[in-house]
Amino acid sequence: MKEAKIKIRDLTLFYGEKMALNSINIEIPGNEVTAFIGPSGCGKSTFLRSLNRMNDLIPNVRIKGEVLVDSLNIYEKQIDVVNLRKKIGMVFQKSNPFTKSIFENVAYGPRINGIRDRKKLNEIVETSLKKAFIWEEVKDRLHDSAMGLSGGQQQRMCIARALAVNPEIILMDEPASALDPISTAKIEELIFELKKNYTIVIVTHNMQQAARVSDLTAFFYLGELIEYGKTKKIFTSPDKKQTEDYITGRFG
Amino acid sequence: MNRKTRITGTLFIGTTAFSAFLIIAVIIILLVVIVIGGKDTFSWKFLTSFPQDGMMKGGIFPAIYGTALLVLIMSVAAVPFGTITAIYLTEYASEKSILAQTIRFAVRTLATVPSIIFGLFGLGFFIKFVGGEMDSVFLGGQLKWGQPNILWASLTMALLTLPVVIVSVEEAIRAVPREMREASLALGATKWETIRRIVIPGSRSGIMTGTILAISRGAGEVAPILFTGAAYYLASLPTSLSDQFMNLGYHIYIMATQSANVDQTLPIQFATTLVLLMLTFMLNLTAVIIRSRLRRKAK
């Protein structure tokens, strides 16, 4: 296994009185794709969102334990959440373009980072869209509204938008669950390409997808991490019976 | 179903239909009476000329001008202030905090205060206190700001229309999808950057609606400006914030009660009422259209 990019130690999360994650320990390696699988409500999305502190936005959430990114605990008091989120990009389940042009969507991150130079912005927008495999489809209408793109195109543009701030880690929360098979295939191809330069953590409902795109798989159930290991092993000879039952479709 | 329940049912339907019809009838009668009474006097010249012969003849241009100026200054004061308050309430204050609840209570109360009370408040606070102090501090007691003028009248009207602005903008801010805020925050934007670049642009139509509704309310109210700046008759248009002004609603009031010959000025009263009604009606219609577009977009 490559060196761990993210180390999570004893992470426990409460929504009010309800425990949503129970003492999770896991190490996520750099430049690989790690998939989180499990039935709805098992805590996998909640866990993903605690890796860039998006759960901070929800009232009544309490978190214990450590999340070390490059050996720095992101829940330390002196951590700047804004900088943290620049380092850890996120792609959401439902594509969420801003009601702005394609160009302005992708340039949003660089702009809030203070980049004003038009030439530099053009360059960033172009490379980001190319990295997300959507440049050819949109290069002639960069200044049209992003709302006019198809669902799959919107999602790839959202990935380009995340790439534009130059993150090291990309968190994807069921990025293809609302897309048709062709768009899904494009996103998966894209994930495969991106792992050369980024550490990717993906939450998915689709087990075939996890098997296709990931190097490592973690199975969550009722807020607990049941099993974690090489994807090949999890899908062919899991150690735990619960994992096997879920993967073979006996529950969930 | 027996006969008795059937009769009760029919009676009930009849009563509700009659009430609904009554409301429509009131509007129609109102409009017909005003249009018939005012149509002969209403003309381009009526809109663009000054009153003549002790306001027995001539037009209402200074009243239109004064009303427009009033709502303009009022909007400049009420819209930014109301928008900022709405942003605080929706984005920063926690729902349960005592401060937020106090502000909400104050906004609701402000909306139910009778408009004449605003007039008295404007007289006491803006003219006597603020204006009076300004005169004694800056002008050595010379009377300039301590008397009714268009600035104080506009600010008084701004207080009255503030709840309208706050409620409209709040509604629009809430309609900005959570996913968009999250996208912005996940890109490393701070809360303030997210508000400035995503939330406020997304609420633009709500801010517009609030502004138009406030203008339409401000254009029609008379009580708040009664003591704070409206004038009976002025031979020239206001040129400074310390000038008094004429106003459509107030003009109708004085024509109907203070005029030398009330009956003779009836056509002018009707025509002025027609102008005021058309103005507020058009403003409200625009607000309704913008708001329905906003609701469709939020879905």
Would you say A220 and A36 are in contact if contact means Cβ atoms under 8 Å apart? yes
CA pair distance A75, A68, nearest whole angstrom: 9
Query: Would you say residue B297 has pLDDT above 70?
Result: no
What tens digit of pLDDT does each residue of A209-218 get?
999 999 999 9
What tens digit of pLDDT does each residue of B22-57 get?
999 999 999 999 999 988 888 899 999 998 877 778
Residue A66 CA, chain-centre distance (Å), reads: 19
A 88-107: CB under 8 A from B: 89-90, 92, 94, 96-99
- pLDDT attached to residue B235: 86
B97 Cβ under 8 Å from any chain A Cβ:
no
- pLDDT attached to residue A1: 53
The answer to whether residue A52 is domain-embedded is yes
Query: Would you say residue A3 has pLDDT above 80?
Result: no
**Crossing angle, helix B204-220 and helix B248-257, to 10 degrees?**
20
- pLDDT attached to residue B1: 60
Query: Would you say residue B157 has pLDDT above 80?
Result: yes
CA pair distance B15, B70, nearest whole angstrom: 43
The answer to whether residue B203 is domain-embedded is yes
CA pair distance B2, A250, nearest whole angstrom: 59
Q: What are phi and psi of B262, to 5 degrees?
A: -60, -40
Within 13 Å, how many C-alpha atoms sit on residue A68's CB side? 14
- pLDDT attached to residue A2: 64
Please report residues of A whose CB lies closer than 8 A to that of B199: none
Q: Distance (Å) from the C-alpha of residue B104 to the closest C-alpha of chain A?
A: 21
Per-residue pLDDT band at A178 (split at 50, 70, 90): confident
Would you say A193 and A174 are in contact if contact means Cβ atoms under 8 Å apart? no
The structure tokens listed for B297 are 């977009």
Element (H, E) at A88: strand A88-91
Q: Three-state DSSP class for A54?
A: helix
Query: Would you say residue A58 has pLDDT above 90?
Result: no
- pLDDT attached to residue A90: 95
A67 Cβ under 8 Å from any chain B Cβ:
no
Element (H, E) at A34: strand A33-37
Average of pLDDT values for A116-139? 94
- Tally of residues, chain A: 252
The listed range with the strongest mean pLDDT (A76-90, B27-41, B149-163, B228-242) is: B149-163
The structure tokens listed for A169 are 């880690």
Which domain range does residue B107 map to? 66-298
DSSP notation for B64-116: HHHHHHHHHHHHHHHHHHHHHHHHIIIIIS-TT-HHHHHHHHHHHHHHHS-HH
User: ipTM more than 0.85?
Assistant: yes
CA pair distance B217, B65, nearest whole angstrom: 17
The answer to whether residue A142 is domain-embedded is yes
The answer to whether residue B264 is domain-embedded is yes
According to DSSP, the β-strands at B51-52 and B57-58 are antiparallel
- Output Rg (C-alpha) for chain A, integer angstroms: 18
The answer to whether residue B158 is domain-embedded is yes
Would you say A188 and A172 are in contact if contact means Cβ atoms under 8 Å apart? no
Element (H, E) at A19: strand A18-29
Query: Would you say residue A122 has pLDDT above 90?
Result: yes
Per-residue pLDDT band at A30 (split at 50, 70, 90): very high
What tens digit of pLDDT does each residue of B196-234 get?
999 999 888 888 888 988 999 999 999 999 999 998 888
Cβ contact, residue pair B182, A57, below 8 Å: yes
- pLDDT attached to residue B298: 55
The answer to whether residue A139 is domain-embedded is yes
CA pair distance B282, B79, nearest whole angstrom: 20
To the nearest whole number, what is the mean pLDDT of chain A? 92
B175 Cβ under 8 Å from any chain A Cβ:
no
Dihedral, CA of residue A144, residue A148, residue A154 and residue A160, to nearest 10: 0
Query: Would you say residue B7 has pLDDT above 80?
Result: yes
Q: Three-state DSSP class for A72?
A: strand
- Structural domains in chain B (count): 1
Cβ contact, residue pair B187, A161, below 8 Å: yes
CATH number, domain containing residue B156: 1.10.3720.10
Query: Would you say residue A118 has pLDDT above 60?
Result: yes
CATH number, domain containing residue A60: 3.40.50.300
Would you say B261 and B179 are in contact if contact means Cβ atoms under 8 Å apart? no
To the nearest whole number, what is the mean pLDDT of chain B? 90
Per-residue pLDDT band at B111 (split at 50, 70, 90): very high
Q: What are phi and psi of A6, to 5 degrees?
A: -125, 130
Query: Would you say residue B2 has pLDDT above 80?
Result: no
Per-residue pLDDT band at A199 (split at 50, 70, 90): very high
User: With pLDDT > 90 as the criterion, what percentage of chain B qualifies?
Assistant: 62
- Structural domains in chain A (count): 1
The answer to whether residue A20 is domain-embedded is yes
Per-residue pLDDT band at B286 (split at 50, 70, 90): confident
Nearest-by-Cβ selection for A85 from B179, B188, B201: B188
The answer to whether residue A252 is domain-embedded is no
What tens digit of pLDDT does each residue of B46-104 get?
999 998 877 778 889 999 999 999 999 999 999 999 999 999 999 888 878 899 899 99
The structure tokens listed for B147 are 């008397």
Q: Cα–Cα–Cα angle for A24, A199, A131, nearest 5°? A: 145
Cβ contact, residue pair A59, B94, below 8 Å: yes
Single out the residue of A157, A153, A183, A195 nearest to residue A29, CA to CA: A195
The structure tokens listed for A211 are 């098997």
The answer to whether residue A134 is domain-embedded is yes
Stronger pLDDT, B295 or B286, i.e. the higher one: B286
Residue A109 CA, chain-centre distance (Å), reads: 17
Q: How far is CA B60 from CA A13, B68, B220, B247, B272, in A?
A: 69, 13, 15, 9, 7
Q: How far is CA B77 from CA B52, B66, B134, B153, B214, in A?
A: 34, 17, 19, 12, 11
Would you say B225 and B70 are in contact if contact means Cβ atoms under 8 Å apart? yes
- pLDDT attached to residue B126: 96
Q: Which of A110-114, B164-168, B182-186, B259-263 has the lowest mean pLDDT?
A: B259-263
Which domain range does residue A110 map to? 4-247
A52 Cβ under 8 Å from any chain B Cβ:
yes
Would you say A36 and A243 are in contact if contact means Cβ atoms under 8 Å apart? no
Average of pLDDT values for A60-83? 91
Single out the residue of A27, A30, A33 nearest to residue A9, CA to CA: A27
Element (H, E) at A122: helix A118-131
